[in-house]
Structure 1
């Protein structure tokens, strides 16, 4: 139905109304990427809103065949190359939270592990660079000289003085402590060494020097004793000298004699001189030699008062008369006497007096 003349256009303000026979859709330039969209058809006031199927009615937009907006366009740049990524690992199922939801399948016993990427092979081994050769030796830096001496740090003050050790004694006022001098012990060690090396031998050598060599000679009188020179006394003395020479074959000189007092006491003395290293054993051997001759009892030791001289006495019998046999031996001589009518102590004392008169040191 044509609109009345002079009425306002039915479309929006500012739009132009197409004339009869003018195309509703203007031509679209090719390659613009847009399709022509038909404008909405105007209905008349008396037209029903129900769709009609008359042949002269235009087709609705939703009933038209869709048009590809990219038809004829170059879309080759949108094809992206595949990166060749490995397939994504399976997502483990969520733990049950109590809410309704899709139930996932329980995990299999052996989870699917994606295969590792292939290891690169047949790569060329890099060649190490050649070692540098024929390089000049580095020159050592010059030694530092004429450097100023470092200044020592200042000594700490107002600190408590340390306690000196026991062997350090305090010094005089204004001076530090001094170390106590150790006593020199080497003189004592030297003296002890000399004493051991020389003293011990001297202790044993002194008696030998004082007693050897010696000589013997019978005096005519010794106290109240008189030397008898009759034939019987001379034969007795000669017999005793022979026995002494036989018993002590190392003796250099022998002696024998018979003495008598006015009271009738008789003393027979005999012995010899020489060197004896062990005079004690010599005195014991002499008493043992005379035991059978005089039927001696057990020997008794008496002190001679002289170091290195040893004495023995024993009681016996001679032709039914009681006698005391005493002997005294040292490093240079041996003297034996047979006493009648005297005690053991008196006999030992008288033998010492006879030795002093008979034996002399050369």
Structure 2
């Protein structure tokens, strides 16, 4: 019995070592949980983490789907309209390209002004004249190819350029761009020889402007569509 008392006394002594003022606080400390309850807590924590991860993945997946619906059509149009080629053929309908030095200089000057406001990969320009209507009804066409993510905004930027080159462009209006898509706008301005129409087209792969002396925007818009069809090709 004495040996048993001696074996118990250290434990009792350990409790007695705790100061009297600290014993109420010690009694508030929760007893250690059994090992199997720790395992249950760990399993619950892992399950909670899995639920959080699944929720995050679902949110990200929904965002990706929404982005695909929003950007998908635009990316498709960009892929269809890039790698365009702009050329100036010898003849378009009844209009013949004027290859005189004066005509080339004028077309080159307009093209330089355009390229100063937008970076182009390739460029082309020409002046076309109808042999029957003569020089007063000539058409000055200039533009280039590049990849554009906001064709309408870029077109409006270069049309503002015409405010300096031809005078203020007024009454800008959207017109049907035709099978090639994109945007087509025409307005009116005053040139050295009188009123003229100013038109421009833009899509994700090309942009061009044209000046139509002696014509209204409504008269120039279908001519611009004809010019575009004759000069712009895509793979």
- Using structure 1 for the length normalisation, give the TM-score: 0.44
C-alpha spacing 1:307/1:278, structure 2 compared with 1 (3 Å): farther
C-alpha spacing 1:201/1:289, structure 2 compared with 1 (3 Å): same
State the superposition RMSD in angstroms.
Answer: 2.2
1:257 to 126, 146, 151: 126
Query: Secondary structure of the residue that 1:258 maps to in structure 2?
Result: strand
Structure 1: runs of 5+ lacking an equivalent:
1-191
1:286 aligned onto 2:155: no
Distance 1:226 1:207 in 2: 33
**Structure showing greater Rg:** 1
Partner of 2:95: 225
Partner of 2:174: 301
**Greater strand percent: which structure?**
2
Query: Secondary structure of the residue that 2:156 maps to in structure 1?
Result: helix
Higher deviation after alignment, 227-236 or 295-304: 295-304
Distance 1:348 1:324 in 2: 9
Structure 2: runs of 5+ lacking an equivalent:
1-61
What is the correspondence of 1:1-362 to structure 2 with a 5 Å cutoff?
196=66, 198-249=68-119, 251-262=120-131, 263-264=133-134, 265-295=137-167, 296-305=169-178, 309-362=182-235
Distance 1:224 1:195 in 2: 50
Give the structure, 1 or 2, with the largest relative contact order (CA under 8 Å, sep 6 or more).
Answer: 2
Q: CA deviation at 1:237?
A: 2.0
Distance 2:152 2:163 in 1: 17
**Greater helix percent: which structure?**
2
Q: 1:207–1:308: 8 Å Cα contact kept in structure 2?
A: no
Q: CA deviation at 1:195?
A: 7.3
Query: Secondary structure of the residue that 1:247 maps to in structure 2?
Result: coil
Q: CA deviation at 1:238?
A: 2.0
Query: Secondary structure of the residue that 1:257 maps to in structure 2?
Result: strand
